[in-house]
Structure 1
Amino acid sequence: MSTNVKKLNWRTLAMMGFTIVWGFGNVVNNYANQGLTVVVSWILILSLYFLPYALMVGEMGSVFDHKAGGVSSWIDSTYGPMIAYLAGWTYWVVHIPYLAQKPQNVLVALSWVFFQNGDMIKSFDPLLLQSIVLVIFLIFLWLSSKGINSLKKVGSLAGTSMFFMGILYILLTVAAPSLVGARSATTVWNIHTFLPKFDFKYFTTISMLIFAVGGSEKISPYVNDLEHPEKNFSKGMIALAAMVGMSALLGSFAMGIMFNSTNIPSDLKMNGQYYAFKLLGEYYGVGNALMILYAVANALGQVAAIMFSIDAPLKILIGNGDTNYIPKSFTKVNKFGAPINGYKLTGILVGILIIIPAIGIGNMNSLYNWLLDLNSIVMPLRYLWVFVAYIGLRGFMKNRKLTENATYKFIKNDKIATLVGIWCFVFTAFACSMGVFPKGIQMFTSEWFFQLALNILTPIVLVGLGFIFPKIARKTNK
């Protein structure tokens, strides 16, 4: 009995990767950091980092096509279960700062829906607003524990709408000077406008670029679903890099038209997406309609992201984790199938990360920017495991035989392949290390030192907790 399975073509794979990796916020946040010099930064990061990263992922997806656990299972096959557990722990725990920020995003979006500005959020006392943020998070944590998944479905649809609105924004803004006679806010457009100054300040911003282009390992399960993956996967990844590059470059040009590259608003990270759609509506004579539509979609998308990020990474950790390293009590589920003790630990860690910073950071705009920057430091730590797995696959003689039947191979020479893996690992680690230095505030003030301490301690504490669990497991799992 034969079955005809429809194969993916490389164009479909590229589009799938684009929706996974890219979002309009990537354009706004990196423009806020670098202005129009980000154009050169995008070219460098896409060609020297993103493309080899995506092609490595393709090779490992091909080699480990029978493994359903993603990066953790790659590590398990190349280094063993203990290191695989640490990879799974890292994948889960880096979502803690992500979850701490998402309720902020919901409040910002709702402020633009109901008041058409972000002033209400900026005017709040940080400790009071963060207390509201904590309540919002706990509500969604409770809903997730009850198995309520309808918000995920609505949010996924809203997220798709938001994605296409981001593309629409880029196209309409770039066309605005010729279509509606819009004048560029950036007045000087020459070679010096785009050339970065590679100094200390610049290198503190590259973690946000890494944060923007990471996540392509999520497409690894589809490598062997391709028609002729040995030649079509690389085509798909080159097409993906081209689409991301086109969106990043045109998006940065669009931001330069709306916001003066030499005088960027201090709250652009918090409110830039809404400012952009508000101005776009003014360009085309539709008032605040586009901005409100985007804000509604963003609010629903953020809600879905909260519920998905509470649930999915935790279940991946528990589902793929070795019982020698994870306490049985941590895997306990309630009648809705939710790992309730894992939810409780999530609530405690997120609660600490929501409240403690509000004590030492003076205003909501600084607090929002800090938490976003913290995500750009912590979230890429999970990408490091992708490169660790690739180095183990191609650099260790005992693992090289695993690649013999792979349908796709990034680089045939093992030494060169290993060096490329080391390059991506070192660059990611360097970007995360430089990202710990606070941005947007005066250096060596009390708040600067407070943010620096939080940026260093947060990833150390979150990852370090993972070394405690195996000790608890050894005592309690007997």
Structure 2
Amino acid sequence: MDQKKISWKMLAFMAFSTVWGFGNVTNGFVWFNGIQVIFSWVFMFALYFVPYALMVGELGSAFKHAGGGVSSWIRETLGTKLAYYAGWTYWACHITYIASKPSGGLKALSWVIFRSAELYDKLPTLMIQLITFALLIIFCYVASKGLNPLKKMATLAGSSMFIMSLLYIVMMFAAPAINPKGDYVSLDFSLKNLIPNFRLEYFTSLSILVFAVGGCEKISPYVNKVENPSKGFPKGMIALAIMVVVCAMLGTIAMGMMFDPALINESKEAFDSYAANGSYWAFQKLGQYYHVGDTLLVIYALCNVIGQFAVLIISIDAPLRMLLDNEETRPFFPKKLLKQNKEGSYVNGIVMVAVLSGSIILAQSFVPGAAAVLKQLTKLNSVCMPLRYLWVFVAYIALRKAGDKFPREYYFVKNNAVALGFGVWCFVLTAVCCLMGMHSDDPFTMALNIITPVVLSVLGIIMPILAKNEKA
């Protein structure tokens, strides 16, 4: 039996590759004025990420036999109707994520072909968005035909991106020794340069960091597969937090050696361009330091192309199956939505995904410039995706209020009042960051950030009403 148990070190690595990616380093650096983001990362890890990960551990331990993740936790603690809403939120958050994947894949492909940002960024937005929409329709069709080989491709692309992220840090720190004449930026670690400017823009961007560190509830099924869960799981989560902190810090310093934040913030166009292309420029510069041309850039961009498109197809199909396969929440959906083809795909559900994600893509046809589209999608995802984390904290608060009704091997903290305090704190911080993240100086971006979650929430309320009327 012990042979099947995984060590806390293995758990930490599994969680790390799930939670962290190079895009998080780039987004933090660009949106938070270079190395000033270090202060914000420390705050986010200490007061949000660590308690969040340890709460997930306790929930996973309490509901070790519940396979549905957050929806199962809500069903066990608060009933089936709220479990439906939790499942709907988890699925609805993927709509903005799906809308961003064809754009991200096209951007990566343009770097593979052109090795530069300029040509793609200067193409008419309407043309790019129509191509993006066509890609979404093609991938929706592919997703409806079953996709087992793609899961392996997505895993492979995810692993390679993870390796590239670590490789970037190691190679960048070694670069000055190997190529002393490289064009490096001198870093100023004085306190005034590390403390952020707490303006409105700072607070409205915090949702990007919340989005970056979320998602560790995906590893909750492994809680009871860890050796000695009550000690092993928290060890694994603390190791995960340390690894993420170290990668965020070292990745930020490595980027600080390459890019001057003054150039990023020079103009709106410069900012948009860095937000869309920063990670590609990082690997392009790294290749120049090592005299290997664009080799590292092309490898990174190819990994990104495969990853973006494979994850797109999986995101169309997998969350939909999770939502509609659940026997206890199926009664909340109209029968038309539950129609399956011979591959077991929910065809009308996939049509709904195409309509909703396609609407976001087509609405962005009027945004000036392809780089601005990607920046807008990053912000939209940072507003919508963390909404699913709210249900993790709702489930945790409900679990602690239930006392010893649900036995578990592992407790985040023994004191119930302290545990509830952490649950409420994380819920409020997530909600406030999402709400503040909606703000933008651009009226269209702000409208998109507000309308999208509202429309998706209203749809979730309408579904049970349609199902009820159908039965009547």
Residue 21 of structure 1 deviates from its aligned partner by 0.2
* Pairing partner for 2:416 from 386, 394, 414: 414
Q: How does 1:180-259 map to 2 (within 5 A)?
A: 180-181=179-180, 182-186=182-186, 188-259=188-259
Name the count of aligned residue pairs. Answer: 463
Q: Does the CA contact (< 8 Å) of 1:184 and 1:258 recur in 2?
A: yes
For residue 341 of structure 1, the aligned residue among 345, 348, 361 is 348
The equivalent of 2:17 in structure 1 is 19
Alignment of 1:70-89 (within 5 A): 70-89=69-88
Distance 2:314 2:78 in 1: 29
Alignment of 1:64 with 2:71, yes or no, is no
Match of 1:308 among 307, 314, 318: 314
Q: Offset at 1:5?
A: 4.5
1:370 equivalent in alignment to 2:370? no
Q: Deviations for 1:6-54, whole angstroms, at most 9, x for unmatched residues?
A: 2111101100110110000000011110121101111110011000000
CA distance in 2, matches of 1:187, 1:161: 29
Distance across 1 between alignment mates of 2:369 and 2:113: 22
Report the 3-state secondary structure (helix = DSSP H, G, I; strand = E; otherwise coil) of the residue aligned with 2:413. coil
Q: What's the CA shift for 1:178?
A: 2.7
- Counterpart CA distance in 2 for 1:44 and 1:185 is 26
Who is 2:404 aligned against?
Answer: 401
Letter in 2 for 1:70: G
Q: Which residue of 1 aligns with 2:463?
A: 469
Shift of 1:185: 2.2
- The offset of 1:154, in angstroms, is 2.2
Which letter does structure 2 place at the counterpart of 1:253?
Answer: I
Q: Percent identity?
A: 47
* TM-score, normalization by structure 2: 0.96
Question: 1:186 Cα shift?
Answer: 4.7
- Does the aligned pair in 2 maintain the 1:328–1:477 contact within 8 Å? no
Give matches, 1:25-424, under 5 Å: 25-34=23-32, 35-181=34-180, 182-186=182-186, 188-264=188-264, 265-266=270-271, 267-320=273-326, 321-359=328-366, 361-394=367-400, 396=401, 399-403=402-406, 405-424=407-426
* Letter of the structure 1 residue corresponding to residue 342 of structure 2: K
Shift of residue 128, structure 1, vs aligned partner? 1.6
448, 456, 468: which one aligns with 1:454: 448
Q: Deviations over 1:74-97 (max 9, x none)?
A: 001111111110000000011011
Contact 2:150–2:314 at 8 Å: present in 1 too?
no
Displacement after TM superposition at 1:245 (Å) = 0.3
**TM-score w.r.t. structure 1 length?**
0.94
Structure 2 unmatched runs, 5+: 265-269
- Rounded to whole Å, the distance in 1 between the matches of 2:171 and 2:469 is 61
Relative to structure 2, which stretch is displaced further, 181-190 or 118-127?
181-190
Distance in 2 (alpha carbons) for counterparts of 1:466 and 1:412: 36
Structure 1 position 234, deviation (Å): 1.1
- CA-based RMSD of the aligned residues comes to 1.3
| Separation in 1, partners of 2:290, 2:405 | 57
SS in 2 for 1:338: coil
SS at match of 1:262: helix
Deviation at 1:330, TM superposition (A): 1.0
Q: Distance in 1 between matches of 2:150 and 2:4?
A: 31
What's the offset of the Cα at 1:475? Answer: 1.9
- State which drifts further: 163-172 or 5-14: 5-14
Q: Return the alpha-carbon distance in structure 2 between the equivalents of residues 245 and 187 of structure 1.
A: 19
Q: Which amino acid aligns with 2:213?
A: V
- Tell whether the 8 Å contact from 2:164 to 2:300 is kept in structure 1 after alignment: yes
> Residues of 1 paired with 2:172 and 2:209: CA distance?
22
Q: 2: distance between equivalents of 1:118 and 1:142?
A: 30
Please say if residues 107 and 121 of structure 1, whose CA atoms lie closer than 8 Å, have aligned partners that are also in contact.
no
Amino acid at match of 1:349: L
Task: List gaps (5 residues or longer) in structure 1.
Answer: none
Q: CA deviation at 1:199?
A: 2.2
> For 1:168 and 1:393, how far apart are their aligned partners in 2?
41
User: 1:199 & 1:135 partners in 2: Cα distance?
Assistant: 40
Contact 2:57–2:412 (Cα < 8 Å) also in 1: yes
Asked if the contact 1:11/1:239 (under 8 Å) is kept, the reply is: yes
